[in-house]
Structure 1
Amino acid sequence: MDNRFSDFQEKRMKIFGELVRRYWNGKLKSNYDLNELAQDIKERYGFTDDDMPFIKDHIRIAMGLDPKGDSEFKDELDIIKKSKEIGVPVIARIQGSCEHCGHDSCRCEDVCKYEAHIYRKSEGPVIVENKCLSCGECVTACDFGAIADKIEFLPLIDLLKDSNTPVFASVAPAVVGQFGDDVSMGQLRTALKLIGFTDMVETALFADILTIREALEFNHQVKNEGDVFLTSCCCPVWFNLTKKQYPEVFKRMSPSVSPMIASGRILKKLYKDAKVVFISPCIAKKAEVKEPELKGAIDFVINFRELSEIFSALDIHLKDLPGDEKDHASMGGRIYARTGGVSFSVKTVVNRLEPERVIKLKSKRVDGVSACNKILSDLSNGVDINANFVEGMGCSGGCVGGPRTNIDVSKATRMVNEFGEDSLILTPFDNLNVMKILKQLGINTIEEIIEDNEVNRLLTRKTEL
């Protein structure tokens, strides 16, 4: 095994951190500066001149650009200055490291659970885009830097420094505890404001709104024994797995968008010319925001691991900051971060809407690819699953088990549960922030969320194939 390529996941973040530090401080203005960075990386990690195309492609990926497979920087900085979005594909293959991998049976060969790539040892992985769900398993499994997801922060820096552009951070419910045991959400808000964000909003607030919507949908659609309703909330891997491989089951899925998309659409409706950045535990969210029907809701996606490196590069120490604490979301919205959270939250609202309902919500919660695939296969084959509400999460443990989290699943789950219990708002139905937002959007009663109006359009996507 060639040590200069090993542990590349960590090296990649250090490359990104150095890129951020230099760009933020005005020290990346020309190709000469980019070449100097590449040379520094080469010397720091013991690479050779032959490795320069590989190094420079990882710099491009860290800038949010496509790899080129050559050594020459050309117009990369000009592209970044003009970028309003990061293009597809989200996950790219980088040449130059596979031949140095010492695994006789490389982990890349079996890691993709969706058969989205064909692995050839001599050439590296080939990603079949119409099958790839952008779950990120291949990226995190390859520690030699052969596959990487684009990082979306550099084009955002100029926006954060523009005082005339409001930029909101919508933070995923799984964020709690990701930046230190003693770091509060208020301190995270302060840190984000220090780097130019206008404010930080809990995505869980929009999960509360969607919980109410899906509870109303459940009451309308599940009338008889045998009726089954699939949540579409949260996980794009679950949504796309169902859509691509189980079209008949997909017809039973809610048309609701994810809380991330709802946050972007609603914030942009409330704040003129606003930009919205989603802070995410996973890679799949980077692909979700680029889907044609959802495009424009979220401008950039930064994951927890990347944000941690950003704070380090900019010398921001969260534990030393004052906390700007706010209570946006209910317990129900906050525990969307872990397996069973959506089911629990929707059930609390169903019970409040129709306490005398004969057919009670009975949920089946599955997490991890194989479990999601199994229950979808059962539904497709007419197997009785003994449930009428199905929640699927692509990652084991739910979003807290995402491939770009900073802490382990069990600890993250515990911290999410504690943060949920700390909320002064028990259920989405009790969240006055929800009604305040809905009234600003012209909605006066909860039931109007599923009627034909502008708010309904903000909260839905097409589920027809």
Structure 2
Amino acid sequence: MNAIVSNDASCMYCYKCLRNCPVKSISFNHGKAKIIDEDCIQCGICIEVCPQKARTYVKSIDEFKKFIGKKFMVSLAPSFFAHFDQPYKIISLLKKLGATVVQETAVGAELVSGEYARYFLKNEETVISTACPVIVYLAERYFPEVLGHLLPVVSPMVAHATFLKQKFGDLPVVFLGPCVAKKSESQLVDIVITFEEFDEFIKNENFQLDQLIDELPTPPYPDKARMYPTSGGINYTIDGDWKTHISIEGIENVMNIFSKIDEIKTGFFIEASACIGSCINGPAIRKDINILEKRRRIMNHSANLNTEKNLIEFEAPSIDLHKKFSSKFSKVYVDEKAVQQVLKSLGKDDMKKQLNCGACGYESCKDKAVAVVLGKAEKEMCITYLVDKLKAATNRVVEESPNAIFIYKGNCLIYKNKAAEKLFLDTANLISLLNEIKIFSNRIYEIPDKGFFFVKSFTLPEDSGEVLLLVDMTKEKLQEERLKEIKHETLNKIEEMLARQMRIAQEIAGLLGESIAETKSRFVELRKFMEE
């Protein structure tokens, strides 16, 4: 299971995760990032650097809540005492929630260091610590030639979980630590919770820590292994000689050593950590206090328990701590012709055009082209390709525009498109003419024998030149004139029609008047006759 997940809705084309991913285990489709599970070493760098918070890890608090009120055991990573301001009250809270055992993972680290020391003494070759799961994933997936140098020992977390179950019974084990990669390291641990998750849990449940008493971890206690999460902490536990013991921190530094492992002749004990500053600078530990303060807190805790009153002699149990590592490396064949075709489509078939700027996230343009062929990247991730593509599209639009476009500076014509070339073909004193037309900006200007044009002018940024845009309005102007003629003719027709109607009305009125007069005369005669 990969503990790191993506939120596509928040991903915003910045490629910062890919630029910082040491193994490029992130693919992009339509500008959205996706973790490639089989390639990911779960270092958590992409989570820390993402400005949009589009990357996170699987949270386990809901699973942990199912344990509350039941019996379970807790393994506290040594950096626990560097992260929490009130670590002993947190221990009290865990016991209140149902933990029958709350013990330091450093107990398991003590066992692991014992195995490390024995292996190193027996081998003259260079050996590498395997306490960090990210380092193990890195070796198995990308540097199989290093597997023979890995110390075949389980991590302190796994060693401690084995110890807890052997000593206290087969109860569920909860690991509390600063590492995201631990979530997928071993099924022997039932739940892995980060410090960040537990902080949020305390806040959401509104636990009042000040009301709890201080409680110490469950014995037995470790001797030196509390310093495991600090730089050089593992070497310290095995009494390493500085001449043959070295700490390598940071994935890039570790990869550099891994790539040249066969060149190392002198037998070294390499304490390898993915995080610079070791575990006290892990991805899920607080960042508001510095490494020195965190180291001081661990040393204070160690001093508090290393007294005659609290110190309990630790006896190593007889448990199997051996682990076998296997190669998960898969070499992918990439067709070189396909790579060259991608480079050509990007306009980078010439080595001089391959800037290798790294803006897309890949170290070189060729690496990017390989990723495109493999379906892990998109051509549009290249900034120079996008700029060139935009310029080409813009130039095409300008060149094919039906509007005449002129760019000039002083007395020098910088550019004119096809429409402009056709409009003023072999015109003398063109600049003077353009300056004359410019006066009519935002108005319609008639160019004799050419037509009517709407004039638009503006100055380019940084005084780069003047732009004159002539929009051909001749057709519209002719239509406007024709419309005026039609209106005039229509009005004349209406006037003629009204005059004619008036004449007809008058004639009808005349006829009606004569008829009424005759009718009246007949009526008078009829009346007179009736009266008679």
TM over 0.5: yes
C-alpha distance in structure 1 between counterparts of 2:108 and 2:74, whole Å:
13
Q: Tell which structure's C-alpha radius of gyration is larger.
A: 2
Partner of 2:92: 190
Give 3-state SS (helix, strand or coil) of 2:228's partner: helix
Partner of 2:66: 158
Matching residue within 2, 11, 18 for 1:109: 18
C-alpha distance in structure 1 between counterparts of 2:222 and 2:73, whole Å:
20
Give 3-state SS (helix, strand or coil) of 2:255's partner: helix
Partner of 2:276: 396
Q: Which whole-Å deviations, capped at 9, do the CAs of 1:103-138 have from their partners, x for residues lacking one?
A: x64422312111111234x34112211210111111
Give 3-state SS (helix, strand or coil) of 2:9's partner: coil
C-alpha distance in structure 1 between counterparts of 2:120 and 2:210, whole Å:
43
C-alpha distance in structure 2 between counterparts of 1:329 and 1:371, whole Å:
33
> What amino acid is the match of 2:197?
E
Give 3-state SS (helix, strand or coil) of 2:193's partner: strand
Q: Which runs of 5+ in 2 are unaligned?
A: 328-532
Alpha carbons 1:117, 1:125 under 8 Å: kept: yes
Q: Does 1:273 find its partner at 2:165?
A: no
C-alpha distance in structure 1 between counterparts of 2:307 and 2:271, whole Å:
23
Where in structure 2 are the equivalents of 1:40-189 lying within 5 Å? Answer: 88-98=1-11, 101=12, 105-120=14-29, 122-162=30-70, 166-180=71-85, 183=86, 185-189=87-91
Partner of 1:324: 215
Alpha carbons 1:331, 1:422 under 8 Å: kept: no
C-alpha distance in structure 2 between counterparts of 1:323 and 1:158, whole Å:
25
> What amino acid is the match of 1:322?
I
Runs of 4+ in 1 over 6 A off after TM superposition: none
> What amino acid is the match of 1:93?
S
Give 3-state SS (helix, strand or coil) of 1:201's partner: strand
TM-score, normalised on structure 1? 0.64
Where in structure 2 are the equivalents of 1:337-356 lying within 5 Å? Answer: 337-347=229-239
Where in structure 2 are the equivalents of 1:269-308 lying within 5 Å? Answer: 269-289=166-186, 295=187, 297-308=188-199
Q: Which runs of 5+ in 1 are unaligned?
A: 1-87, 290-294, 352-359, 444-454
Alpha carbons 1:208, 1:333 under 8 Å: kept: yes
> What amino acid is the match of 2:278?
G
Please tell me the root mean square deviation across aligned C-alpha atoms, in Å.
2.4
Give, in angstroms, the shift of residue 199 of structure 1. Answer: 2.4
Partner of 2:331: none
Partner of 1:60: none
Change in Cα spacing, 1:361 to 1:200, as seen in structure 2 (3 Å) is farther
Change in Cα spacing, 1:106 to 1:128, as seen in structure 2 (3 Å) is closer
C-alpha distance in structure 2 between counterparts of 1:209 and 1:110, whole Å:
38
> What amino acid is the match of 2:60?
E
Q: Does 1:406 find its partner at 2:286?
A: yes
Alpha carbons 2:110, 2:223 under 8 Å: kept: no
C-alpha distance in structure 2 between counterparts of 1:257 and 1:91, whole Å:
23
Report % sequence identity: 24
Q: Does 1:221 find its partner at 2:123?
A: yes
Change in Cα spacing, 1:258 to 1:123, as seen in structure 2 (3 Å) is same
Alpha carbons 2:18, 2:46 under 8 Å: kept: no
Alpha carbons 1:119, 1:125 under 8 Å: kept: yes
Alpha carbons 1:174, 1:400 under 8 Å: kept: yes
C-alpha distance in structure 2 between counterparts of 1:431 and 1:179, whole Å:
24
Partner of 1:232: 130
C-alpha distance in structure 1 between counterparts of 2:222 and 2:104, whole Å:
10
C-alpha distance in structure 1 between counterparts of 2:267 and 2:170, whole Å:
44
How many residues align? The count is: 322
C-alpha distance in structure 2 between counterparts of 1:211 and 1:299, whole Å:
24
> What amino acid is the match of 2:168?
Y
Change in Cα spacing, 1:95 to 1:419, as seen in structure 2 (3 Å) is same
Higher strand proportion: 2
Give, in angstroms, the shift of residue 145 of structure 1. Answer: 3.8
Give 3-state SS (helix, strand or coil) of 1:325's partner: coil
Q: Does 1:434 find its partner at 2:279?
A: no
Partner of 2:200: 309
| More displaced 10-residue stretch of structure 1: 190-199 or 367-376 | 190-199
Alpha carbons 1:93, 1:147 under 8 Å: kept: yes
Alpha carbons 1:330, 1:420 under 8 Å: kept: no
Structure possessing the higher relative contact order (Cα contacts under 8 Å, 6 or more residues apart) = 1
